Structure 1
Amino acid sequence: MIKMDKKAKVLVIGDLMIDSYLIGHCDRIALDAPVAIVDVKEEKDVLGGAGNVIRNLASLGAKVSVMSVVGSDDNAKLLKHMLDEVETKSFLLEQKGRKTSKKTRIMTANQQIFRFDHESRNNISFDNVKKLYEKLQEKINAYDVILLADYGKGVLTKDFTQKIISYANKNNVKTVVDPFGTDYSKYQGAYLIIPNKTEAITATGIEIENSDDLLEALKEIKNKFETKEAIITLSEQGVALLKDDKLSVLPTVPLEVYDVTGVGDTLLASIGFALALDNDIVASLEFANLATGVVLRKAGTATVSLAEIESDQVDLDKKIIETHLSCQLK
């Protein structure tokens, strides 16, 4: 496990949203149209997007703050209430004419059959960028790490993102980015960018088909975007890391893969949490892999606790011992 000799203080900046679930049973088709009828038995709302990163950080025991822009609507009120419930210190600006993001999923038999979105995707106003940046300048020394959770909804504009990273670097605060889109120059100079394999191919132009390609892509990310560390996530296979100019793959060890929803949020949160506690990149990724291994076994946008991670660490240690003994017997 990672060292934990202080309280992790983490700031999340990005696109907040509500994940809403309508869960029920389906056994018939409508008479007026060829569509399934779901008899809704349960409704639930959880924090999604950057909010799911926050949920995971809170579950791990971090002191969490958030900066973002929402609409002036009922969903914004609900979102603020949900942030209060996980004891998050919020600096949220309301922008008239903007919709607070809400994604509603229709679920039956543990399957998503339909989703509808209520959101805005245009950039936030210049005035709100200015206000958020001024607040960041005022509070920068209160944070160990800044997590940028970009879902393409307009909070992390290119100009604002570059200002965050530049100011954080001047104050020796690490920035870790969950990226969106194809223009990674907006994340130039971040401590760490966390692309998946498909995103890394788009960002670097390198087709990743083998280990040599993976190594080349990692080097390109670090050199082209001037990051301190370079990684590429490989879903349930783990995380590829550039270490001393060599490729290292740190595997995730899930007992089973149930649902990949929100795994990227957990990865961002757990890496940020470990880095905030002054762990190195290898220890932070090993911790994050245990965290994502837990979440891969859960349905929907889920969180992970330290107790669950510790339990998985014990199971992993047992597997290693059993494998070692089996090899000795052979």
Structure 2
Amino acid sequence: MKFDFPEFHQARIAVIGDLMLDRFYYGKASRISPEAPVPVVNVDRLEDVPGGAANVAMNIASLGAQCNITGITGADEAANVLKQKLHAVGVNCLFHQAAHACTIIKSRVISSHQQLIRLDFEKRFTEQVAQDMEHLAEHVTDNAKVIVLSDYNKGTLAHPQYWIEKARNKQITVLVDPKGDDFTKYRGADLITPNMSEFEAVVGAVESEQDLISKAQTLIKTLNIKAILITRSEHGMTLVQAEQPEFHLPAIAKEVADVTGAGDTVISTLATALAAGVSLEQAVTLANVAASIVVTKLGTSTVSEPELRQEYERHQGINNTDHCIGGAVTVEQLKMAVEQAKKRGEKVVFTNGCFDILHAGHVTYLQQARALGDRLIVAINTDESVTKLKGEGRPINTADRRLTVLAGLADVDWVTCFPGDTPEELLRLIQPDILVKGGDYDKQGVVGWEIVEAYGGEVKVMGLVENCSTTAIVNKISGK
């Protein structure tokens, strides 16, 4: 079911966490230093960007929401730059400027879009300084519907329980972007958003999707929290709530330029959407879309409300039966997604092939296949399998590229790569309602037809568009 895009301007969020200034030096490196074997960069541009918790606030403001922020800085030039940058986008700054502290600065030297070195100017803030900042609590949380604790382990959140208790007393939702291998300090928060590495540092190595869910549920009970959102890079993100089915969103296929600040974008979008009144699943869906946008940008970047709206509506049009968003998934993730789709009463259609060079015949065929049901799965052969079937020199496009192209099609809900030379094991595992194959043969020529019919599924053979084939395209390009 579709939902109206949130009115972000009505949302009010408080951000508490480690403030940083990201400083970028851009220039050309055209020679090696005579003093040492290092490049000499002739700097021609300097750019200062709010980082850390300040980047979370920038993302919230970019979405059009109201934001208060507090954190520790020095009484220095970097703090003034941070405040100026934040004020410029409407963020209300309530900095605790410690007399003997310095604002954290992370400087990067960039040449030809390549980071050559990063210089960190930082010293962990003492617990006393963090405690001194607590007098700002009432002001920063004023009228907030959601609080974000943005922990970079620099000392600002030495006492997260103070902020969690303050929020709970005021019935404010608390989201935590955690750091470190001890999450007990976040006990009682509403939701935490670790990445996969951070999650495994706390619960141990994750062996499977079910193991991930089980360990997340255990952690939820241990910490007395409501939910965990685990961000998983190319595997998307998984939301686990107490005693509820998991909610998995595959990564939206994009050409990744830079993952810097992607976690900040996720939690800021999540907080803004929740403060605007949408459900947690809907907020996670929007956060997933926002992450797919920000990773295409270089450096510390934000996502604007128009960008998010446009990208979300594009994917909502692709998958308009609910707020799930499709994409490239592992076999285990596909199994879970299909189980959820069937529980919703959706008819699942399955097809498979090499899909090496996508052409008009493929697109037409996939449109016809999708029209047979509510969800379409496309399973592709591995590169090794394609070589066996088509010969040396094939595939033209590797599996990851084929997955990306197929995931971008409007009629494809999920795309995966199956092991082995046939999809028979995958068919036994997920049991789609309809198996579709294109060709001029009868259904007995379709690999796996007997498996599908044995559990009560249907098998359909659809005609192909004439004069469209990958082999013909390859031969034409090579002049054969």
Rounded to whole Å, the distance in 1 between the matches of 2:139 and 2:40 is 52
Alignment of 1:305-320 (within 5 A): 305-317=304-316, 319-320=318-319
Counterpart among 208, 228, 244 of residue 210 in structure 1: 208
* Alignment correspondent of 2:12: 9
Contact 1:254 1:297 in 2 (8 A): no
CA distance in 2, matches of 1:326, 1:114: 51
Match of 1:282 in 2: 281
The answer to whether the 8 Å contact 1:219/1:245 transfers is no
Please say if residues 52 and 265 of structure 1, whose CA atoms lie closer than 8 Å, have aligned partners that are also in contact.
yes
2:94/2:140 contact within 8 Å kept = no
Q: Distance in 2 between matches of 1:178 and 1:229?
A: 13
Partner residue, 1:125: 128
Q: State the partner residue of 1:143.
A: 144
Partner of 2:396: none
- Alignment-mate amino acid for residue 124 of structure 2: R
> Structure 1 CA distance, aligned partners of 2:94 and 2:84?
13
Moved more, 4-13 or 143-152: 4-13
Q: Which residue is equivalent to 2:112?
A: 109
| Letter of the structure 1 residue corresponding to residue 165 of structure 2 | S
Alignment of 1:36 with 2:34, yes or no, is no
Aligned 1:3-82 pairs, distance under 5 A: 3-4=6-7, 7-82=10-85
CA displacement, residues 102-139 of structure 1 (integer Å, 9 cap, x when unaligned): 1000111212110001122132525x524x33332356
Counterpart Cα distance in 2 of 1:167 and 1:82: 28
Is this contact kept in 1: 2:69–2:140, CA < 8 A?
no
Which residue of structure 1 aligns with residue 222 of structure 2? 224
Over 3 Å counting, the alpha-carbon distance change for 1:63 and 1:6 in structure 2 is closer
CA distance in structure 2 between the aligned counterparts of 1:73 and 1:100, rounded to whole angstroms: 7
CA shift in 2, pair 1:124/1:324, >3 Å: farther
Partner of 1:295: 294
CA distance in 2, matches of 1:274, 1:178: 16
Indicate the larger mover: 1-10 or 266-275.
1-10
Aligned to 2:292, the other structure's residue is in SS state helix
Q: What percentage of residue pairs aligned between the two structures are identical?
A: 33
Structure-1 residue corresponding to 2:93: 90
Matched residues in 2 for 1:215 and 1:55: separation? 32
**Residue identity in the other structure for 1:306:** E
Give the greater-gyration-radius structure (CA).
2
1:5-39, Cα deviation, whole Å (9 max, x unpaired)? 86110000001111011112223211110101122
Cα 1:6–1:297, aligned 2, differ >3 Å: closer, same or farther? Answer: closer
Separation in 1, partners of 2:45, 2:135:
42
TM-score (norm 1): 0.92
Name the SS of the counterpart of 2:115 in structure 1: strand
- Asked if the contact 2:188–2:224 (Cα under 8 Å) also holds between the matched residues in 1, the reply is yes
SS of aligned partner of 2:71 = strand
* Post-superposition CA distance 1:144-199 (Å, at most 9, x none): 10000111111101x3x101101211221001001111121111100011101111
Aligned residues: 325
Superposed CA RMSD in Å reads: 2.0
Of 208-217 and 173-182, the range deviating more from structure 2: 208-217
Judge conservation of contact 2:8–2:65 (CA < 8 Å) in 1.
no
2:171 alignment partner, SS class:
coil
Q: Distance in 1 between matches of 2:87 and 2:9?
A: 23
Kindly provide the CA deviation profile for residues 30-55 of structure 1, in whole angstroms up to 9, marking residues without a partner as x.
11101011222221011000111011
SS across alignment from 1:154: coil
What is the aligned partner in structure 2 of residue 250 from structure 1? 249
Deviation at 1:327, TM superposition (A): 3.4
Amino acid in structure 2 at the alignment position of 1:256: E
Please name the residue that 1:171 is paired with: 170
Are residues 19 and 221 of structure 1, via their aligned partners in 2, closer, same or farther at CA, if it must alter by over 3 Å?
A: same
Residue 235 of structure 1, CA deviation: 1.6
SS in 2 for 1:304: coil
Matched with 2:265 is: 266
Distance 1:36 1:294, change over 3 A: same
Q: CA deviation at 1:91?
A: 1.2
In structure 2, distance between residues paired with 1:314 and 1:19: 32
Question: Which amino acid in 2 is paired with 1:268?
Answer: I
Structure with bigger RCO (C-alpha 8 Å, 6+ apart): 1
Q: CA deviation at 1:2?
A: 4.0
TM-aligned CA deviation for residue 230 of structure 1: 1.9
Q: How far does residue 141 in structure 1 lie from its aligned partner after superposition? A: 4.6
2:428 paired residue number: none
The amino acid that maps onto 2:113 is N
For 1:123 and 1:252, locate their aligned partners in 2 and report how far apart those are by CA, in whole Å. 39
Indicate if the aligned counterparts of 1:254 and 1:296 stay in contact, CA closer than 8 A.
no
